[in-house]
Amino acid sequence: MRLLNVIPSIDPAKGGTAEGLRQSVIATAALGHVDEVVCLDGPDAPWLGDFPARVHALGPVASTYGYHPGLVPWLRAHAADYDAVVVHGVWQYTSLAVWRALRRGPVPYFVYFHGMLDPWFRRAYPLKHLKKWLYWPWADYRVARDAKAVLFTAREEQRLAAQSFWLYRVTPAVVGYGLAVEGPADDGHVASFHAAWPATLDRHLVLFLGRLNPKKGCDLLIEAFAQLAQANPRAHLVMAGPDSQDHGRELRALAQKHGIADRITFTGMLEGSLKWGALRAADVFALPSHQENFGVAVVEALSVGLPVLISERVNIWREVVEDGAGFADADTLQGTAATLMRWHALGAAERLAMKARALACFQRRFRMEAAASRLVATITPHVSRV
């Protein structure tokens, strides 16, 4: 089967959707299928070179909406070369372009919302939601309605997606998502990570891995860590990820306010062996996000047996708690502090047992190979040639 993935950007700094697609194409290739990608990055974008699939980069585009006059003609000219098209995300021109080009064929298309219809956005950004209501009926409502299936990465995402707009009609399919473990996960260099950031050596590390963005609850984590720091003199917080909206400056000021600036290391974005070294060096992973569709970084942590402390706004929190792979609580300061202190209260034997359960949780639920198999099984009945 030949699949075409349509996505605004595969820049890894954009967040989990791009990384999730990377993982997905690796897994589908292992099953004997071929993935290609069309995006609106510039053809000279540095992140294109190591992407594990052929990429057709048609950009760059000037606006955040990502309008590109050549995308619809390109899709009409090339869609017949593929068995199906998979759209990643809504609210940008890429999804509308697929609908315009393919709603009458020649190949079926499928849509991942990737959490973009979570009702949290309606509450957090009411004016933006009003603008989306003006856009929804004539654009992405039709995109979702006419897709052969809307693909959800978790049961919780499917449940929440139906709550944002009363005008809502989709054919749902929960296919899951996950991680295709590559070489770096197996040979993460803990020593190299400590050498790069000596303040982390011989400390009890709490690791945040993601964009420094208000949505991620970074401020909650720093304030809650201030409580943990008083209880555990060896506790150290690692904030690993690219800055977003100049949020890093605010977080550093918050750390200074609480007198814990020397107990926090900001690494910037980590990739490759340094990222896996950080995951293997950490004692626990923390993500008190206000909204997280899946949480690729959460699954990366589980894949190396690292327990996770997450909010109940991370859509896989039920699976994590059911498997005893970590703790979840409200996306508030009280909830974030509660998960940290519950972890702190565990004995050594309990922590080791939770590490084993974290790895088992990953193996059972979040291997990308299983998600890729479900994706292929969902698409296959709609494909005329396989």
Is residue 207 within 8 Å of residue 197, measured between CB atoms? no
Backbone phi, then psi, for 357, in 5-degree steps?
-70, -30
Q: pLDDT (tens digit, 9 = 90+) per residue, 147-187?
A: 999 999 999 999 999 999 999 999 999 999 888 765 445 45
Task: Enumerate the domain spans of the chain.
Answer: 2-180+368-382, 183-365
pLDDT band at 294 (very low <50, low <70, confident <90, very high): confident
CA distances from residue 191 to 204, 280, 359 in whole angstroms, order as listed: 15, 10, 22
CB atoms within 10 A of CB 262: 11
CB burial of residue 78 (10 Å; 0-12, 13-18, 19+): middle
Distance CA 335, CA 220 (A): 9
Query: 173 CB contacts (<8 Å, ≥6 apart)?
Result: 149, 150, 151, 152, 378
How far apart (Å, rounded) are the C-alpha atoms in residues 274 and 238?
Answer: 13
| Average pLDDT for the chain | 94
Do the domains at 2-180+368-382 and 183-365 have one common CATH topology? yes
- Say what the pTM is: 0.84
Longest dimension (CA), the chain: 63
Asked if CATH classification 3.40.50.12780 holds for the domain at 183-365, the reply, yes or no, is: no
Q: How far apart are CA 107 and CA 89, in angstroms?
A: 19
pLDDT band at 188 (very low <50, low <70, confident <90, very high): low
Q: Does the domain spanning 2-180+368-382 belong to CATH 3.40.50.150? A: no
Asked if pLDDT for residue 386 goes beyond 80, the answer is no
**77-91, 104-118, 173-187, 265-279: which range is least confident on average?**
173-187
Tell me which residue of 20, 339, 283, 39 sits closest to 157, measured CA to CA.
Answer: 20
Phi, psi of 295 (to 5 degrees): 90, 75
Mean of the pLDDT values across residues 57-80? 96
Residue 184: predicted pLDDT: 45
Does 60 score more than 90 pLDDT?
A: yes
Neighbours of 143 (CB within 10 A): 23
Helices 247-257, 218-231: axis angle to 10 degrees equals 30
